[in-house]
Amino acid sequence: MLETRRAPVRCANQAGDDQAAGLRRLFGTRPPRWLPVLLANGREGTHGAWLARLARSFLAQGDRTLVVDAARAQVASALGLRLRFDLQHALDGDCVPQAACVQASEGLWVVPAARGLEAIDRATDAARRFESGLQALAQEVDCVLLVLPEAGRAGQRAALSALAGPHGYDNALLAIGGGAAAPARCLEAMSAAMGAVDIDTFHLLFQDMDTASAGRLFPRLAAVAARELGARVADGGRVADPDAMLRLVRAVRCRPASSRARTTAARHSEAAENRF
């Protein structure tokens, strides 16, 4: 069970949550949706505010949401949280896994995971432990936002592959900034992600640009991505537009994972309970 800010303290609705979790395990209802969020603007630490809005939009649609910040995007800070532990502390045995999760509100948690992601490239068993740790923390949520650093950064490909199972992802979000380098960064990010795992649709999110600029850039990117990469893209809107974020969440949620993908995710979740 994901805990509140102080790990030993249990939520007031603990009994109801435990019962709901037990029913999910007993009847095999859908596991959490894993949604990669790829960053491609070269500016670490500038994403926390809009990612917090995105997470709250999922929560507003009824999804208990876990944000895995593996990119130092400062999501916890944007939600007004102070952190003591991160996922690597849990993997090293310095704290229980739940202590690495910080609760922002009813149904919304954040776990910092940048150090855990970087460790994947330094140890042969790190990818397995990273996967097991996150699967264990995600057992009782509906949506996991996996925020990953820019293409080429340590551990990104390994994390995408480890958490996707054999069937990939139905959707991925890709945030890009303005400037002349934006198209190249976007295509590089898509190419790197597609080299690691199958992704059905990239939803492009535009940061630091107005509506007109985003409207001009999207069709160009969509055409090049389809021609050069065979990638399917959708316009996710500007991250500064709350209405666009809400429309994006509704679009992503209305595309359920395939039955094979659900079975695979459920099997991974059950295995994580025994390994972590």
Residue 268, pLDDT above cutoff 60: no
Pairing mode, if any, of strands 102-105 and 108-112? antiparallel
The torsion angles phi and psi of 92, rounded to 5 degrees, stand at: -85, -5
pLDDT per position as a tens digit, 48-65 = 999 999 999 999 999 999
Average pLDDT over residues 158-170: 85
For the whole model, what pTM was predicted? 0.82
Q: Specify the number of domains making up the chain.
A: 1
Cα 76 to Cα 99: distance, rounded to the nearest angstrom: 14
Contacts of 18 (CB under 8 A, 6+ apart): 1
Higher per-residue pLDDT: 264 or 93: 93
Q: Please tell me the distance from the alpha carbon of residue 39 to that of residue 45, in angstroms, as a whole number.
A: 11
**Position 134 pLDDT exceeds 50:** yes
- Can you list the positions of beta strands (E) in 59-161? 65-69, 102-105, 108-112, 143-148
Domain-located, residue 91: yes
User: Could you tell me if residue 267 is inside a domain?
Assistant: yes
Quote the pLDDT of residue 21.
52
Can you tell me the mean pLDDT for 236-265?
Answer: 75
**Average pLDDT taken over every residue of the chain:** 82
Tell me, yes or no, whether 112 lies in a domain: yes
pLDDT in tens, 93-113: 999 888 999 999 999 999 999
What is the C-alpha to C-alpha distance for residues 181 and 217, in angstroms, rounded to an integer? Answer: 12
Nearest alpha carbon to residue 106 among 56, 156, 68: 56
pLDDT at 85 over 50: yes
Give the residue with greater pLDDT, 92 vs 257: 92
Grouping H, G, I as helix, E, B as strand and the rest as coil, residue 127 is helix
Q: How far is CA 118 from the centre of its chain?
A: 16
In a domain, 8, yes or no: no
Mean pLDDT across the stretch 224-247?
Answer: 95
Q: Identify the weakest region by mean pLDDT among 7-11, 115-119, 128-132.
A: 7-11
Q: Out of 68-77, 181-190, 248-257, pick the least confident.
A: 248-257
- Specify if 10 maps to a domain: no
- Give yes or no for residue 252 having a pLDDT over 70: yes
pLDDT of amino acid 3: 46
- Specify the CATH number for the domain of residue 200: 3.40.50.300
Q: What is the mean pLDDT of residues 37-52?
A: 84
Tokens of 22: 């037990």
Is residue 15 domain-resident?
no
Burial class from Cβ neighbours inside 10 Å (0-12, 13-18, 19+) for residue 276 reads middle
Contacts for 151 with CB less than 8 Å, ≥ 6 apart? 38, 40, 188, 189, 191, 192, 193
- The confidence band for 118, taking pLDDT boundaries of 50, 70 and 90, is confident
Domain of residue 205 covers 40-275
Residue 9 lies in a domain: no
* Length of the chain measured in residues: 276
Q: Is residue 207 part of a domain?
A: yes
